[in-house]
Amino acid sequence: MIVTTTQHIEGREIAAYLDIVSAESVQGVNLVRDLFSAVRDVFGGRSQTLERALKEARIQATDEIKARARQLQADAVLGLDFEISMGGGGKGMVTVFVTGTAVKLK
């Protein structure tokens, strides 16, 4: 399964646009560790806790969009767009939304 943020795949022709596909992943972030991450961020450090949660959410959302495209018998997903939301009403949640267009290639 090819997934790309571009609208085409060089050297490949699109036979059919099948449907819009989307997926999401929500990850909890440990608030105690996140407090220390916030302190590090003030002093120029990186928040590894948040980075891990974002990476895991992105991987899960990408895997899910591939699975949904396979259900449509797609060969690729074009125009992948990721959106990230921090929320959960102070409960330390990271949400990654991904959308794209499932296509059949010639």
State the residue range of the domain holding 17. 2-105
Segment 34-76, tens digit of pLDDT: 555 556 555 556 667 778 888 999 999 999 999 999 999 999 9
Residue 19 to residue 83: CA distance in whole angstroms = 19
pTM (predicted TM-score): 0.79
Smallest Cα–Cα separation from 12: which of 62, 76, 80? 76
- Can you list the alpha helix ranges (DSSP code H) found in 1-106? 31-42, 48-71
Q: How many domains does the chain have?
A: 1
Is the Cβ–Cβ distance between 1 and 66 less than 8 Å?
Answer: yes
CA 73 to chain CA mean position, Å:
21
Segment 9-39, tens digit of pLDDT: 999 999 999 999 999 999 887 655 555 555 6
CATH of the domain at 12: 3.30.110.70
Please state, for a pLDDT cut of 70, what percent of the chain lies above it.
79
